[in-house]
Each structure stands twice: as C-alpha cells, then as structure tokens.
Structure 1
C-alpha cells in the first residue's frame, strides 16, 4: 500500500528542521480538504506517514510548512511580513506508485524540494 512522507532540513543552520508544523490538504478544484497535521520530530521527519491506507489515492495534494514560526522559535529575526512564512508545495500523486517522499530544504529566504525516495 502507498504512503506519503516528508522531511525538512534547515539549510541556514545545517540541521534537521524539528518541531515544524506540517499540514496536508487534498486539492479538488478550488476546495482544500485537510487530511493530516503533524509536527516534525528531532530528525525533521513526521513520526508516521501523512497519507496512507484508504486515503492514499491519485490526485493533487498540498503540503504547508510553517517555516516562519520555526525560525521565530529559533530566535531568527524575520521581517514582517516574513518573506517565507508558510511554504506551500502543490504536487500530484499517482497512487499506482507506492511511495512519495517530499523533502523540503529551507532557509528564511529560500526553499527547495524534489521527489525523494
């Protein structure tokens, strides 16, 4: 059965992004349906897959990472409004493929992502 996982790395500090709020939404037209909410652990990962089982199906999804809150909690001074407060990644899942891993590399002023393994 398929699953969706994520991992956050803090490029500004050279460490995993821990205690970052991650929200997963299913996108259907202009409607967003929240599927999961989690906090990353000390390794920058969620303790369980964000999507699996009967909920894992083909479609468009959106991950939202609360990067601004993370950097503020670390004592980083951010302008108001922050340049990257919430990082939004919208992507498609083909449920025939068993595992989608969506890593996020962040800093206060940039981010990068890719389909991992």
Structure 2
C-alpha cells in the first residue's frame, strides 16, 4: 500500500468517482506524483514515505463531470495537508478522501 492514498466518492450519483486524475505537489509546487482513481475511486501515490512537510493534492474534477455531461462549479479541488514525522523517523499512513458533488465537496483525515 502506498504511504498516501485517496478515495473519491461522487455523492450526487452515489458511486465511486473513477477516472479522476490526482496530482501530488510539495510546498514549493514541485510535482511529485500523479495517478488516476480506479473503478472503486481509489488510488495511491507519492514517494515512500513522504518527508515531513506541507503537500497538496489536486483533483481534476472538471473532466470527470464533463465526461458525464454534468455542469460543475469546481473544475478542480485542491487539498493541502501536513505530514508529520515522529522522532524515530516514522510517520502514519495518510489517507485523504474526497466527497464530491458538482457544487460542493468535503474532505477529512482518513485512516
């Protein structure tokens, strides 16, 4: 399992959001990884493990909705989060779920 995972759910349709491109960047904007959600709306990305710092996941939601002929207010969703590393050099698995609809979204610290 990747040290960083995500799960995108289309809450309007009540299904996993498959085919959403996700890009991981660091605090300086450097591209670290990209992936596309699978049939279950899940993907793993990022180097193993992520060093301590701020990171951003950008979800390409516009193309996902366009493929379904659904108008959306959010052509992309950007989520910035912090990775902490313990004194012994270990860090937790990071899971960043996205609950998505054409005119709203929410995210939370998953497990």
TM-score above 0.5, yes or no: yes
- 1:71 aligns to what SS in structure 2? helix
- 1:98 aligns to what SS in structure 2? coil
2:28 matches 1:38 = no
How do 1:30-69 residues align onto structure 2 when only pairs under 5 Å count? Answer: 31-46=28-43, 49-53=44-48, 56-69=50-63
Q: Deviations over 1:27-64 (max 9, x none)?
A: 1xxx3011111110000001xx31242x5111000000
**Structure 2 residues without counterparts, runs of 5 or longer:** none
Q: Aligned residue for 2:94?
A: 100
Q: Aligned residue for 1:88?
A: 78
Q: Aligned residue for 1:3?
A: 3
Q: 1:19 deviation in Å?
A: 0.3
Q: Aligned residue for 2:25?
A: 25
The ranges of structure 1 where at least 4 consecutive aligned residues each deviate by more than 6 angstroms after the TM superposition are: none
Taking structure 2 as the reference length, the TM-score comes to 0.89
Count of aligned pairs: 106
Distance in 2 (alpha carbons) for counterparts of 1:109 and 1:14 = 15
Distance in 1 (alpha carbons) for counterparts of 2:45 and 2:52 = 15
